[in-house]
């Protein structure tokens, strides 16, 4: 019979080997998957994307900016550009706008794939927002043109990706981005968030943690000398450093007063209290939002917190006649206005 100590040591080594292989992000399998993607074609496609983004944003480009964006050496960057020129996708003598028409439509197709896939992840899966970009960066190189169109049709030809960037159409049209950077607003200005930049990831992560999302209303309270922007959104006060504030785009427009102060969320309602729904916050998207809408959570709906569970969460609410249990997290997505506890019209038949 095997010696138990060596059997256990052997087992521990096997487990360790498996972990090294399969650990997310840094494991061997994950590295290999990433390595496979970093092929020549992928580098070229990423280069086209970079050139297009510079052109779209009206910024100058250089071999250095390309090398930096793709995390490759200058020599590799030049080599990639030469290859693109061979294929007629760029014309390097054309200074500021090196993309040929063909190169531009190639770049637009990659961007279209990227943004459609992000839309897919947001609408149809439970993948965390912070992971959308990385996954789309991988998948954008794996689609055939037909598969992209099938995906677009399946998603109902969406117009914007979940960060608010417009998705280029199949024929390569892309509308201009609307709005200005949060930093260019002054005290008292109001608007709606139309875009949250997803790169770099650390900043995007911070924006998400602050609960910012597309279509959220903002009102600037002030900008301090160091450049920090203080503003209120959905009834909360938020402050952003200048770096992060530049990554938030806002469309200037007046904001309905009920979206700002005094709006509470349903999770604040105690058992026995009643309220009227003002709306579902923009951060709640996809299947979660549709489910709430289908249950009748639309502006004007009366809700009453009727029954707490033994553990306190979830809470059961009377919504359009039905008793529906919602988790605290879901209730926090629903904006409400308290109303006095009603004695009508449900009182019919009380006497009977």
Question: Minimum CB separation from another protein for residue 17, in Å?
Answer: 15
Query: What values do phi and psi take at 253, rounded to 5?
Result: -170, 155
When asked if residue 348 is in the footprint of another protein (CB under 8 A), the reply is yes
Strands (E), the chain: 180-181, 190-196, 217-223, 229-233, 236-240, 248-252, 264-265, 274-280, 302-308, 315-319, 322-326, 334-339
Question: Which residue, 46 or 137, has its beta carbon nearer to another protein?
Answer: 137
CA–CA separation, 174 and 170 (whole Å)? 10
Binding mask 36-75 for another protein (x = CB under 8 A): ----------------------------------------
308, β-bridge pairs: 315
Q: Is 21 in the site for another protein (CB under 8 A)?
A: no
Q: In the complex with another protein, which residue's Cβ is closer, 60 or 300?
A: 300
Question: By rule CB under 8 A, what string of x and - marks binding of each residue 145-184 to another protein?
Answer: --------xxxxx-xx--------------x---------
CB 133 to another protein: min, Å: 15
Q: Is 340 a residue that touches another protein (CB under 8 A)?
A: no
**Chosen residue from 4, 60, 188, 340 binding another protein by CB under 8 A:** 4
Q: Which of 334, 342, 330, 302 is nearest to 318 (CA)?
A: 302
Told to check if 212 binds another protein by CB under 8 A, we report no
Q: Does 278 bind another protein (CB under 8 A)?
A: no
Least distance between another protein and beta carbon 37 (Å)? 18
Question: Rounded to whole angstroms, how far apart are CA atoms 193 and 211?
Answer: 12
Q: Which region holds residue 318: left if phi is over 0, alpha if psi is between -120 and 50, else beta?
A: beta
CA angle, 33 as apex, 30 and 38 as ends, to 5°?
125
Q: Which is nearer to another protein, 173 or 209 (CB)?
A: 173
Candidates 36, 287, 337, 338; binder of another protein (CB under 8 A) is: 287
For the CB of residue 20, give the shortest distance to another protein in the complex, in Å: 16
Q: Should residue 26 be labelled a site residue for another protein when binding is judged by CB under 8 A?
A: no
Cβ–Cβ < 8 Å for 196, 209:
no
Report whether 160 contacts 193 (CB < 8 A): no
DSSP tag of 305: E
| Interface with another protein (CB under 8 A) | 1-2, 4-5, 7-8, 11, 24, 121, 124-128, 153-157, 159-160, 175, 215, 274, 280, 286-291, 293-296, 298-302, 304, 306-314, 316, 318-327, 330, 342, 345-350, 352
């Amino acid at each position: 019979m095997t010696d138990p100590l060596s059997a256990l040591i052997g087992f521990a080594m096997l487990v360790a080997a498996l972990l090294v292989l399969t650990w997310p992000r840094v494991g061997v399998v994950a590295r290999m998957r990433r390595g496979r993607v970093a092929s020549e074609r992928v580098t070229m496609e990423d280069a086209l994307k970079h050139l297009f983004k510079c052109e779209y944003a009206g910024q100058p480009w250089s071999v250095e900016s390309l090398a930096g964006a793709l995390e490759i050496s200058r020599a590799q960057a030049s080599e990639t550009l030469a290859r693109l020129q061979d294929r007629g996708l760029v014309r390097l003598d054309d200074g500021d706008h090196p993309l040929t028409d063909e190169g531009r439509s190639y770049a637009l197709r990659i961007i279209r794939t990227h943004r459609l896939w992000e839309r897919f992840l947001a609408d149809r899966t439970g993948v965390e927002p912070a992971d959308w970009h990385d996954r789309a960066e991988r998948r954008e190189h794996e689609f055939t043109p037909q598969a992209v169109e099938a995906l677009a049709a399946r998603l109902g030809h969406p117009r914007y990706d979940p960060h608010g960037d417009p998705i280029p159409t199949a024929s390569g049209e892309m509308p201009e981005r609307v709005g200005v950077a949060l930093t260019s607003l002054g005290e008292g200005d109001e608007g709606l968030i139309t875009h949250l930049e997803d790169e770099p990831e650390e900043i995007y992560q911070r924006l998400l943690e602050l609960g910012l999302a597309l279509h959220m209303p903002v009102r600037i309270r002030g900008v301090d000398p160091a450049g920090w922007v203080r503003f209120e959104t959905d009834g909360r006060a938020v402050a952003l450093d200048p770096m992060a504030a530049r990554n938030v785009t806002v469309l200037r427009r007046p904001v309905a007063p009920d979206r700002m102060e005094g709006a509470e969320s349903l999770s604040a309602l105690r058992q026995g209290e009643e309220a009227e729904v003002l709306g579902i916050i923009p951060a709640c998207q996809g299947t979660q939002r549709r489910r709430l809408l289908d249950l009748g959570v639309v502006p004007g709906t009366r809700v009453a917190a009727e029954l707490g569970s033994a553990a306190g969460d979830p809470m059961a609410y009377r919504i359009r006649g039905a008793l529906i249990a919602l988790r605290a997290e879901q209730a926090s997505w629903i904006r409400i206005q308290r109303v006095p506890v009603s004695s009508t019209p449900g009182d019919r038949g009380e006497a009977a």
